[in-house]
């Protein structure tokens, strides 16, 4: 950006490059940080941790520790269980920001969620950066207790160091060494964050919060009082994931295997480059056992389903539905 400014490149063009930087940061997060959280890169977990920390903390200003808790412990174990899965709306009652599941109670404000949810996606990354401190303080993410190993003083220091490195990279160096005005640095990072936030806030939930996917409801055991699922874990993973363009090598790497998401949920420790090979086997097996596979043809079909689901659940009220 310093060179572009010295060359007299217009601010509008520099902002476009700022958006591109935000896009690249997401690619690093998905293709490195996300992979490291499932340990398919190095045999030693510690090396995966170091690389994942660099991708999410230093490059994105997020927290690899909280990502492990939210994504690996929460989302992959309790996929689409509205009260537990951290990757669905934070609240499932009156406090819910939007309605993505028929298990959620309907409120009139959801009439406009197909408009405001895509707009809120621009600010997802800002919320991600604040989340580590919020969960560190609260100790819970949905119904899942945050492990003490993620809440200790050492973990707080790791969070803070990562954010400090990120702040030095995006603010201190450009402003103090390159002479970039603070307002321009803030504007560039805002555009980059909005591009990254839209990428995360739309592409990630589109695999799970669309039409036809299952939303499992835990059942209470009358003898023990505990909750249990009515189906096997593997069946739930396939029926809660929407796949598309499974044979696209480009989308597999740009989206970090979101297009082959059921394969990722079944085999999370497998590098996503192999999903192109195992996808037909997974779907054929699901067909043989009559397991629901809510797939669509293309990426645009998946986005259409995501928006259609927001529209339908924003207006559809089923009086017979037993909401949570």
Choose among 322, 313, 321, 61: nearest CA to 211. 313
Residue 324 counted as domain residue: no
Residue 322 counted as domain residue: no
Residue 321 counted as domain residue: no
| Residue 70 domain boundaries | 2-315
Residue 271 counted as domain residue: yes
Residue 320 counted as domain residue: no
Q: In the beta sheet, which residues pair with residue 144?
A: 141
Q: What angle do CA 58, 62, 64 make, to 5 degrees?
A: 85
Can you give the pLDDT of all 324 residues of the chain as single tens digits? 566 666 677 878 888 888 888 888 888 888 899 999 998 888 888 899 999 999 999 888 888 988 888 898 889 988 998 888 888 876 666 778 888 888 888 888 899 999 999 999 888 888 888 877 777 777 777 778 877 777 778 878 888 898 899 899 888 888 888 888 888 888 888 898 898 988 888 988 899 988 889 998 887 777 776 777 777 889 999 999 999 998 888 888 888 888 999 999 999 998 888 898 999 999 999 999 999 899 998 999 999 999 999 999 998 655 444 444
Torsion of CA 55, 264, 68, 168, to 10 degrees: 10
d(CA 256, CA 132): 23
d(CA 137, CA 324): 27
279 three-class SS:
helix
Q: CB within 8 A of 299, min separation 6: which ones?
A: 244, 245, 251, 259
Cβ count within 10 A of residue 192: 23
How many structural domains are present in the chain?
1
User: pTM for the complete prediction?
Assistant: 0.87
**Contact between residue 59 and residue 65 where contact means Cβ atoms under 8 Å apart:** no
**Contact between residue 189 and residue 169 where contact means Cβ atoms under 8 Å apart:** no
Tokens encoding 64: 């690899």
The distance in angstroms from the start CA to the end CA of the chain is 50
């Amino acid at each position: 950006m310093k060179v572009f400014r010295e060359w007299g490149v217009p601010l509008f063009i520099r902002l476009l490059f700022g958006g591109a930087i935000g896009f690249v940061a997401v690619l690093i997060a998905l293709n490195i940080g996300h992979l490291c959280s499932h340990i398919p890169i190095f045999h030693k977990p510690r090396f995966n941790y170091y690389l994942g920390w660099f991708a999410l903390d230093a490059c994105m200003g997020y927290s690899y520790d909280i990502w492990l808790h939210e994504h690996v412990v929460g989302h992959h174990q309790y996929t689409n269980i509205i009260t537990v899965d951290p990757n669905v709306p934070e609240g499932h009652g009156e406090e819910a920001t939007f309605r993505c599941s028929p298990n959620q109670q309907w409120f009139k404000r959801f009439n406009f969620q197909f408009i405001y949810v895509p707009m809120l996606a621009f600010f997802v990354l800002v919320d991600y950066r604040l989340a580590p401190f919020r969960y560190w303080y609260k100790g819970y993410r949905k119904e899942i207790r945050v492990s003490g190993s993620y809440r200790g003083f050492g973990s707080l220091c790791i969070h803070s160091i990562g954010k400090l490195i990120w702040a030095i990279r995006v603010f201190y160096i450009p402003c103090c060494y390159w002479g970039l005005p603070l307002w321009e640095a803030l504007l560039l990072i805002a555009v980059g964050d909005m591009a990254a936030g839209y990428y995360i806030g739309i592409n990630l939930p589109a695999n799970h919060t669309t039409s036809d996917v299952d939303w499992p409801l835990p059942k209470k055991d009358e003898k023990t009082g505990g909750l249990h699922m009515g189906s096997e874990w593997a069946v739930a993973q396939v029926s809660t994931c929407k796949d598309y363009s499974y044979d696209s090598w480009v989308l597999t790497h740009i989206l970090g295997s979101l297009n082959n998401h059921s394969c990722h949920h079944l085999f999370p420790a497998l590098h996503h480059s192999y999903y192109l090979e195992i996808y037909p086997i997974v779907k054929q097996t699901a067909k043989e056992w009559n397991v629901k596979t809510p797939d669509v043809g293309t990426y645009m079909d998946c986005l259409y389903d995501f928006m259609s689901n927001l529209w339908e659940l924003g207006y559809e009220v089923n009086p017979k539905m037993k909401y949570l």
